[in-house]
Structure 1
């Protein structure tokens, strides 16, 4: 595709210079048909397409940066019997990491001591924290809700689950969907054929249709080279994949390759394994059902008093729902 763009614009530009020089040298009446604007417009459109592609890549990079931003920047580790705070890059496999309530888990690991509820929604999409105890696996960048944990690091750096997710997103940007591979194959055959047709058109005009008229013979040559350029297809496919996978990553949807994104055009049914995926992603109090011998307001007041000091999402949902109902 770049060959056709370069040939078409260069020939059109040089041909216009030739016509302008000829007009100036011979003093002909009237301005000849020049093609400077055609070459300029083609180059402008190609550069504009490249700009869109770069902007799409920029949005993709921002999505990846947001994913990396979910990771903790420092970790509190116990090394040689001393507790110290180090950069996340300095944590080694086997280090014991201290994670206080409300903090992010710095690395993937196994709970060495302690128990707590861990919010894994950024990985699983489930809004309800998972109870974790000694010996349980824990994922980096998840949030420790209410207990002090000592975690033995088992995966650090590029081996963590979050880093693997980022790697999947980056690999998806580099893969070519079927339509782009097809465009590349077609271009590999199409470009030489177009060049041959352009040369044949020049020779036919120069030797058969208008013998010896170089000016008339160059017009069909330029026309074939410029019009046949399939640059729109090549630019559109790569840009759409970059923009699509980047935008998906921003919304928590990961595609393992461009071909999977392309295959979504044939989807007519989606099956989801959890309600949090299609709802607000957090629990809410919707209905209150009380036994015949109890009063709703009394039940809500008791439930609110019990759950008020809890950090559990269900407790927070109950308290919020009670407050919205005007019961304290």
Structure 2
């Protein structure tokens, strides 16, 4: 039976006992009320309290105790004593057992509802998924259910339709609303060659894309799975809470026994009154709020971050983020766009014309940049012949009967270069640009500068981290001059350049000697560093292995989300600590009152009121966690 059904069962059966309590001061007694209370409470103990008793017994067999132990012992004591009292014609306390169960279940209903609300955003994402797709098969467009779409299918998407799965546009263009997945409110313009995400909405144009990831491999499916895992994970602080509860329960039972003995033996109270004080101690000390403190905040925090396009994989990350002192960034694809473009051409159009001729058959990223520039300038390159690579320097070929070459500054050893070109080369390199030389007929005719420019948001992201008091470091395999220039543009504190892919993790370990480190990267070569760092932050555009290695994933590929992720993680962890503090204070203050320490001034707490107080503090903890949704990031 669900918690909600158990609660309503206990509540409905407790109402007659509540009515009886109201009538007692008026000296109105319902005939057979004790037997009625016995019957109602017995059903409550079997149906509503049964799982508590089963859980407590299972823990006891393993020589452990848990939160259910106190609930089970407290209510069972009140129930069994009331049976004895009923048979000996003494006052009964069946209502104490019934109300305690009702109020404990009330707290669990609040928790369950909060869990449902916290995961509601994920459920809504799943509901937003397309139900079918228009697939090109056999030369015709056929509408098929989503589960029949396979990798490699060509899918047509018209205005207003949803993108069925993840893929790449092969024909057409459009603007796409990706807010439900990435959190980005502005529509994104897409052309042939651009990636599209399943469940996003096509706004204007019609396009055809090739399915690359289907089923559980889509970004949406992975987001749902990651958030589910995060919400059910345990932060290390939760393990401490569990250990405290394991010790706390036996101590409470000892205090309850001592309370009974002091009242019954030392102070001469009746058996019933001494027992009621002891039961109140057991009930009010039930550490339900302690148990709620961590998971509720964890669920709300990770749920909210998912809405913002920030995926936090587990609770451990939240705790590690709290101590981070240094944030290390990979350069290419993380700080920079990861796509080199031609920024400067020194010389006339002949420079790009010759370069495009030689680079036409190359797959190097710099060659792609040259070809893209030639296409943009509408320059048609002649066909090159006798193509040959110059080891470590560049390429050589014959263009329109003349020897032509394109390469790095190492080519300067073989050709004459004017002082003006050398000066321009140094200037461009100081601007973090890679310079290639273009030659024709035995002499250098010009330069082409290519740069992987910083993302527009990189500088703002670094400023936000500095405001937080964090040190920023760039860790890259690029040369020192280019790396320094990029670092100066975006405002990074320190640079470690010329690092081989396999050595990145070693540099992270060195930086960790000065305190916990977060690493932000996107490539396969970043995976060891992401794993070695105290907190690994993977860009959503990165490789699968990098994403798998990261503890936090930035779906929108926006570096400003690094600061947002750190902020949200810290706020979530601080809310966990706040919840634990109030839950602990509640127990510390409540036990003396329940034990009757202040009975002399008329301040006492019956078991049913103790149960109500326990439900109230549980509700307070849940409310505190839910308020994370309104915290400023």
- Determine which structure has the larger strand proportion and give its number: 2
Q: CA deviation at 1:172?
A: 2.0
Corresponding residue number in structure 1 for 2:74: 8
Residues 293-320 of structure 1: per-residue CA shift (max 9 Å, x gap): xxxxxxxxxxxxxxxxxxxxxxxxxxxx
- 2:89 match: secondary structure: helix
CA distance in 2 between counterparts of 1:89 and 1:12 reads 56
Q: Which moved more, 1:116-125 or 1:157-166?
A: 116-125
1:234 correspondence with 2:291: yes
CA distance in 2 between counterparts of 1:43 and 1:197 reads 21
Corresponding residue number in structure 2 for 1:307: none
Structure 1 length normalisation: TM-score?
0.66
Task: Sort the Cα spacing of 1:220 and 1:57 in 2 relative to 1 into closer, same or farther, 3 A.
Answer: closer
**Which protein, 1 or 2, shows the higher relative CO under an 8 Å CA cutoff with sep ≥ 6?**
1
1:129 correspondence with 2:188: yes
Corresponding residue number in structure 2 for 1:89: 147
Corresponding residue number in structure 2 for 1:173: 231
Q: CA deviation at 1:270?
A: 5.6
Q: Tell me, yes or no, if the aligned pair for 2:169 and 2:209 is still in contact at 8 Å.
A: yes
Corresponding residue number in structure 2 for 1:310: none
Q: CA deviation at 1:112?
A: 2.9
Corresponding residue number in structure 1 for 2:116: 58
CA distance in 2 between counterparts of 1:15 and 1:36 reads 9
CA distance in 2 between counterparts of 1:216 and 1:146 reads 76
Residues 218-259 of structure 1: per-residue CA shift (max 9 Å, x gap): 456534423432122223443343344445555666443345
Q: Select the residue among 237, 240, 262 that pairs with 1:182.
A: 240
CA distance in 2 between counterparts of 1:78 and 1:188 reads 61
- 2:199 match: secondary structure: coil
List aligned pairs for 1:235-274, cutoff 5 A. 235-246=292-303, 249=306, 254-258=311-315, 273=559
CA distance in 2 between counterparts of 1:240 and 1:42 reads 25
Q: CA deviation at 1:198?
A: 4.3
Task: Sort the Cα spacing of 1:18 and 1:182 in 2 relative to 1 into closer, same or farther, 3 A.
Answer: same
Task: Sort the Cα spacing of 1:250 and 1:47 in 2 relative to 1 into closer, same or farther, 3 A.
Answer: farther
Q: Tell me, yes or no, if the aligned pair for 1:199 and 1:221 is still in contact at 8 Å.
A: yes
Corresponding residue number in structure 1 for 2:610: none
Q: Tell me, yes or no, if the aligned pair for 1:111 and 1:137 is still in contact at 8 Å.
A: yes
1:49 correspondence with 2:107: yes
**Structure 2 regions of 5+ residues with no counterpart?**
1-66, 325-462, 466-557, 565-633
CA distance in 1 between counterparts of 2:181 and 2:277 reads 59
- 1:23 match: secondary structure: coil
Task: Sort the Cα spacing of 1:53 and 1:148 in 2 relative to 1 into closer, same or farther, 3 A.
Answer: same
Q: Tell me, yes or no, if the aligned pair for 1:71 and 1:141 is still in contact at 8 Å.
A: yes
Corresponding residue number in structure 1 for 2:475: none
Task: Sort the Cα spacing of 1:111 and 1:250 in 2 relative to 1 into closer, same or farther, 3 A.
Answer: closer
Q: Tell me, yes or no, if the aligned pair for 1:7 and 1:225 is still in contact at 8 Å.
A: yes
Structure 2 length normalisation: TM-score?
0.37
List aligned pairs for 1:90-239, cutoff 5 A. 90-124=148-182, 125=184, 127-133=186-192, 135-198=193-256, 209=266, 218=275, 221-239=278-296
CA distance in 2 between counterparts of 1:215 and 1:44 reads 22
- 1:111 match: secondary structure: strand
- 1:150 match: secondary structure: strand
Q: CA deviation at 1:214?
A: 6.4
CA distance in 1 between counterparts of 2:99 and 2:173 reads 66
Q: CA deviation at 1:263?
A: 8.1
CA distance in 2 between counterparts of 1:247 and 1:76 reads 33
CA distance in 2 between counterparts of 1:71 and 1:201 reads 59
CA distance in 2 between counterparts of 1:50 and 1:132 reads 51
Task: Sort the Cα spacing of 1:244 and 1:78 in 2 relative to 1 into closer, same or farther, 3 A.
Answer: same
**Structure 1 regions of 5+ residues with no counterpart?**
25-31, 279-328
- 2:96 match: secondary structure: helix
Q: Which moved more, 1:177-186 or 1:45-54?
A: 177-186
CA distance in 1 between counterparts of 2:319 and 2:83 reads 45
1:21 correspondence with 2:87: yes
Q: CA deviation at 1:35?
A: 3.3
CA distance in 2 between counterparts of 1:107 and 1:178 reads 37
Structure with bigger gyration radius: 2
CA distance in 1 between counterparts of 2:560 and 2:306 reads 19
CA distance in 2 between counterparts of 1:242 and 1:46 reads 21
CA distance in 1 between counterparts of 2:156 and 2:242 reads 52
Task: Sort the Cα spacing of 1:129 and 1:224 in 2 relative to 1 into closer, same or farther, 3 A.
Answer: closer
Residues 87-141 of structure 1: per-residue CA shift (max 9 Å, x gap): 11111111111112342211111223334444434444161523321x3332222
- 1:52 match: secondary structure: helix
Q: Tell me, yes or no, if the aligned pair for 1:173 and 1:242 is still in contact at 8 Å.
A: yes
